[in-house]
A and B are shown apart, each in its own frame.
Chain A
Amino acid sequence: DAKTTQPTSMDCAEGRAANLPCNHSTISGNEYVYWYRQIHSQGPQYIIHGLKNNETNEMASLIITEDRKSSTLILPHATLRDTAVYYCIVRGGGTSYGKLTFGQGTILTVHP
């Protein structure tokens, strides 16, 4: 699976959009980009995933660049409860289907 690079930490004001970047320059054609988050020692929570098109769900939007070498997770209106560690993960298909490789993630702190 491709390695990802994320900033160690980011801050965001409550009510504003939080834009979390992720670089995955060695991603291959059949690898998906996933985002999970972990709120203070709880189990990780799935947020969103995508292959090459932009995706949106009730939690967030995922923007993937045309060359697929980077992506951005957008929380449109961040709240204090969005303070968490956010993990960007690239996962392939085939025999590696279940193997999520978690890096150190980005610590997002949402301020009042």
Chain B
Amino acid sequence: NAGVTQTPKFQVLKTGQSMTLQCAQDMNHNSMYWYRQDPGMGLRLIYYSASEGTTDKGEVPNGYNVSRLNKREFSLRLESAAPSQTSVYFCASSAERESYEQYFGPGTRLTVT
């Protein structure tokens, strides 16, 4: 089991460019999440998906879109990157709505210049 995988590991973008961060899990989990972590801060929830075909906004959704492509994959898209989106992005998944354990991926380190 690979758990939660994220691609790419590192990315540098210029202001205004777009990109998609990919996340996949092989644990047959229903729920998936995207967080961002700014330097010296805790994680903040961007979007989450309770099940295939559903997505909901988290704490900081502005500037992002998501797609729950299937049960395994949950992507995060930046349509027009801004320097304020420089951060480390973590994807996570959990089994059921009452599951207490979220499994996190290794993160994508994004720099927007």
Contact = CB atoms under 8 A, between A and B. Distances in A.
Interface of A: 32, 34, 41-46, 49, 87, 91, 93, 97-105
With a 10 A CB-CB cut-off, give which of A34, A42, A49, A97 has the most chain B CB atoms.
A97
B41 interface: yes
Contacts of A91: 100
Given A43-B105, A98-B50, A103 B100 contact: no
19 contacts: A32-B100, A34-B100, A42-B106, A42-B107, A43-B90, A46-B101, A46-B103, A93-B98, A97-B98, A98-B48, A99-B48, A100-B43, A100-B45, A101-B42, A102-B35, A102-B42, A103-B42, A104-B41, A104-B42
A14 to B, nearest CB: 26
Interface in B76-108: 88, 90, 92, 94, 97-98, 100-107
A102 to B, nearest CB: 3
Given A98-B33, A104-B41, A104-B42, A44 B104 contact: yes
B72 interface: no
Contacts of B33: 98
